[in-house]
Amino acid sequence: MQTHEIPRNYKGESRILYIFSIKGLLYTGLGALVGGIFYLIFNVLGLEMIGIGFVLLFGLLGFCIGTFKIPDTKKFRFTEKTGGEAIDDVIRRWIKFKRQKNKIYVYEKGVTKDE
């Protein structure tokens, strides 16, 4: 009798506290760190609760960027081209594109300079 390995589903095993993937936890931490800067500013002004709100807001924003994907819908031109991709990948490509000072030229068919 032979022994056969049964493939395991490893999806989700890299999650921490079930909702945080490693990437999502990293982006949440970075967002909370940015919110911490606002917390320090508002804490000096005596508005500690508003500072805590900024930490939570930026942490949530970081979690959304690191976890969710852009929906695949045909209603908007942006989602038509990037639908199904991770939000952080799209942002990273946009920043890289802008750093290189690239431009996109669009030519319309049938339109000439004389018209």
Q: What are the respective helix, strand and coil percentages of the chain, to the nearest 5?
A: 55, 5, 45
Contact 85, 72 (CB under 8 A): no
Task: Output the pLDDT for position 27.
Answer: 87
- The answer to whether residue 16 scores a pLDDT higher than 70 is no
Mean pLDDT along residues 77-81 = 69
Choose the most confident range, by mean pLDDT, from 21-25, 36-40, 79-83, 88-92.
36-40
Residues 84 and 70 sit within 8 Å (Cβ to Cβ): yes
pTM: 0.64
Q: Is the pLDDT of residue 23 over 70?
A: yes
Between 101 and 55, the more confident residue is 55
Q: Residue type at 111? A: V
Please enumerate in sequence order all residues whose Cβ is within 8 A of that of 64, keeping only pairs 6 or more positions apart, or say none. 87
pLDDT, position 55: 92
Q: Confidence band (pLDDT; 50, 70, 90) for 93?
A: confident
Domain range annotation of the chain = 1-68, 71-115
> Based on the number of CB atoms within 10 Å of its own CB, is 70 exposed (0-12), middle (13-18) or buried (19 or more)?
middle
